[in-house]
Amino acid sequence: MSKISFTISSDVSTRDGIGVELYLHDKIQLEVFRDDSTRRRYIKLFSDDVDLELVELCIQKFKDENLWKFMEC
């Protein structure tokens, strides 16, 4: 069975928002991020081949953690 874990972290350096990182066997695979300064949500991949199931799982975790709404900057 695959070992999947998540980290929720904010970033206020080059971007201003919060995201969910998904790790598979302790290696980061992807990040779903909400940038409040640009009012964008996007996915960053850290591997060439990321299973769609992992992408969907990370998006669902992002929504479950109530991170969808933008904050006012």
Q: Is residue 32 part of a domain?
A: yes
Domain of residue 39: give its range.
4-64
Q: Is residue 42 part of a domain?
A: yes
Interval 18-68: pLDDT, tens? 999 999 999 999 999 999 999 999 999 999 999 999 999 999 999 999 999
Q: Is residue 49 part of a domain?
A: yes
Residue spans of beta strands (DSSP E) within 1-73:
4-11, 17-24, 27-35, 40-45
Q: Is residue 72 part of a domain?
A: no
The Cα 32–Cα 62 span in angstroms is: 7
Instruction: Tally the domains of the chain.
Output: 1
> CA 28, 65, 17, 59 torsion: positive or negative?
positive
Which DSSP letter does residue 51 get? -
C-alpha dist (Å) from residue 49 to 30, 35, 44: 10, 24, 12
Stated pTM of the model = 0.90
Q: Is residue 70 part of a domain?
A: no
Q: Is residue 71 part of a domain?
A: no
